[in-house]
Amino acid sequence: MKSERNIVGRLLGLALSIFSFQFSFANDTLVMADTLVTTDTLVMADTIVVTDTLVTADTIAAKRDSTHMPRVPEKKIPIYQGTMVKLDIASPAVIAGISRGTLQHYEIAANVRLKDRFYPTLEIGYAGGHTQNDSIAYNGHGGFFRVGVDINPLRKHPDSPHALLVGVRLGTSMQNWQHTTQATGGFRADCWGEIALGCQVEIVNGRKSKIESQKRMAFYMGWMGRIKCMFTRQAEGMPAEQQAPLYVPGFGYRDNIGWGLNYYVGWKF
């Protein structure tokens, strides 16, 4: 019996020893796992914090750089951009040819370019006519001028020297006239309005080259068409030849509505 008790005691001691070893090993494993998880979490958290900090710093620096970037200054358009003087070369020949030498017309014009778009214009000239046949003898000559403004609608090309011109005019003429057969005549002033459409094109540019010390005059060509409306009317109840001249300088043959066409050559200063 005593030997049996010793054997049982030894077996119980061995079992307790094995259980104690396994419990200790399990605790060490859990501690190591917790430590690893905690360490990984801390590392991930630190990485996230560092990453966020770097992104935030870069973003702030980029924003600061963008706010302090120098702005490109806008191109300022000068108000005054030159004066052009134009000579009508078509009207003298065309009017003289159509009228077989009984009418004459000479005209010059000048405009100023402002802000790439506006062209205040002055046109002056001398015109008149004479005719004589079995029924009438007429003679009248005088000067005229027109003032107005043209607008260039080509705003998409502000640096272009060419221009499409749309504008209005107010014209006035003064002349001495007479109907020798009707014994009428005198001094007469007339007034009319115009709607004008035309263009001017640079043929020889006036920009300064690298080897030139001064800017050249630019040479232009262009045309201008007009629709005219007479403001001064004839007196009622009298024949036309006894109350007003047949031909109005700058307007043409007297009528309520007229038209005209000029072809210019010009020089820009």
- Are 248 and 117 in a shared domain? yes
Q: Is the pLDDT of residue 48 over 60?
A: no
pLDDT of residue 98: 86
> Mean of the pLDDT values across residues 188-204?
95
pLDDT of residue 9: 60
> Mean of the pLDDT values across residues 23-42?
46
Amino acid identity, residue 75?
K
Q: How many domains does the chain contain in total? A: 2
* Dihedral sign for Cα atoms in the order 166, 172, 176, 182: positive
Length of the chain counted residue by residue: 269
Last residue of a domain, one of 69, 96, 123: 69
Residue 75 lies in a domain: no
Position 131 confidence tier, pLDDT thresholds 50, 70, 90 = confident
- Are 170 and 50 in a shared domain? no
Position 49 confidence tier, pLDDT thresholds 50, 70, 90 = very low
Q: Is the pLDDT of residue 121 over 90?
A: yes
- Are 111 and 7 in a shared domain? no
- Per-residue DSSP letters for 85-130? EEEE-SHHHHHHHHTTTSEEEEEEEEEEEETTTEEEEEEEEEEEEE
Q: What does the alpha-carbon distance between residue 142 and residue 125 come to, in Å, rounded to a whole number? A: 9
Position 58 confidence tier, pLDDT thresholds 50, 70, 90 = low
For the entire predicted model, the pTM comes to 0.67
- Are 145 and 180 in a shared domain? yes
Residue 56 lies in a domain: yes
Position 205 confidence tier, pLDDT thresholds 50, 70, 90 = confident
- Residues in contact with 199: Cβ distance below 8 Å, sequence separation at least 6, in sequence order: 162, 163, 164, 165, 222, 223
Q: Is the pLDDT of residue 124 over 60?
A: yes
Residue 191, domain extent: 80-268
What is the CATH number for 103?
2.40.160
Residue 74 lies in a domain: no
Q: Is the pLDDT of residue 218 over 60?
A: yes
